[in-house]
Amino acid sequence: MAIESLELAVRLYGTPLYVYHEIVHNQYVVERFRREGVVFVDHLHEVPVGATLMYSAHGVSPEVREASAARGLRTIDATCPLVTKVHLEAIRYAESGYTILLIGHAGHDEVIGTMGEAPNSMILVESPEDVDRLEVPNPGKLAYLTQTTLSVDDANRIIDRLREKFPQISNPPKDDICYATQNRQEAVRQLSEEANVVLVLGSQNSSNSQRLAELARESGRRAYLIDGSRDIQLDWFQPDDTVLVTAGASAPELVVEDCVEFLRKRFNATVESRTIREEEVHFPLPRELREVVKAGAG
């Protein structure tokens, strides 16, 4: 949805068009948009007053929204709806007087945005050891949320430790970890048993892609996180290897197909496609774009 939103915004408004942080954590996607004139920024002072700014799929804090309004920016919110869900949960718990434990990785764009919703009520937890050191003002008013792109296994280890230490801890009725992340982890967990080598298409700053490579290594497989076929090293493979090719949630299908084609041509590989879960979820475009498209159609 975020990539489609940026493609449409470029067509509607032209370039330069600004995006707060990378639209998704995938270098192939980011570089393609850069070539088209999109400018990715980490600070709002880099965006000219009155320009068009898109918020990335990872979301932003209320402070960023307020600063954007003060600069007179036309903003388009391409935040993933699953991230928005976590933001709304944080607001609800904070307004009810809870201390919120956010399970996630320090410095990740999504974590920064989520913690900005309730900075005085939220504590970041990165490991079971962090749980052991926790001291909270009121254990009876405690809840946890999770970053959407975590390893399910890692998150569950932390949640189990939280429930041991704080049996009354509250949590949202539905998991925060996104369906696309969970599906890919399940696929790697199942299919890596049949492989010698695992190639994960995704960028180094992609949290969900990193988790896939880690999961394969935990299964004892040689696993490599790569941006594309140009990163493949021939000495990773033996002649009779079975190679599992998978991808992070924001890797374009084109990059995956190029990698498979490289293996086919270079090693005369036979290719078998496996499906673990069908994904039929589609998110609507941001309201700001829907309104423009509707007005044009009218």
Separation between Cα atoms, residue 66 and residue 58, nearest integer Å: 17
Task: Give buried/exposed letters for 42-72 (b at 16+ CB in 10 A, else e).
Answer: eebeebeeebbbbbbbbbbbeebbebbeebe
**109 and 38 in contact (C-beta within 8 Å)?**
no
Q: Which residue is catalytic, options 22, 89, 110, 214?
A: 110
Q: What is the CA radius of gyration of the chain?
A: 21
Q: What letter represents residue 44's amino acid?
A: L
Show the beta-strand stretches assigned E in the chain.
17-20, 38-41, 52-55, 74-77, 99-103, 122-125, 142-146, 197-201, 222-226, 243-247
Separation between Cα atoms, residue 254 and residue 260, nearest integer Å: 10
**147 and 90 in contact (C-beta within 8 Å)?**
no
Cis peptide before 139 (omega within 30 of 0): no
3-class secondary-structure state, position 72? coil
Q: What letter represents residue 197's amino acid?
A: V
Q: What is the DSSP letter of 248?
A: -
Q: Is 110 a catalytic residue?
A: yes
Tell the burial category of 16 from Cβ atoms under 10 Å away from its Cβ (0-12, 13-18, 19+).
middle
Separation between Cα atoms, residue 55 and residue 268, nearest integer Å: 43
Strands 74-77 and 52-55: parallel
3-class secondary-structure state, position 224? strand
The catalytic residues are 110
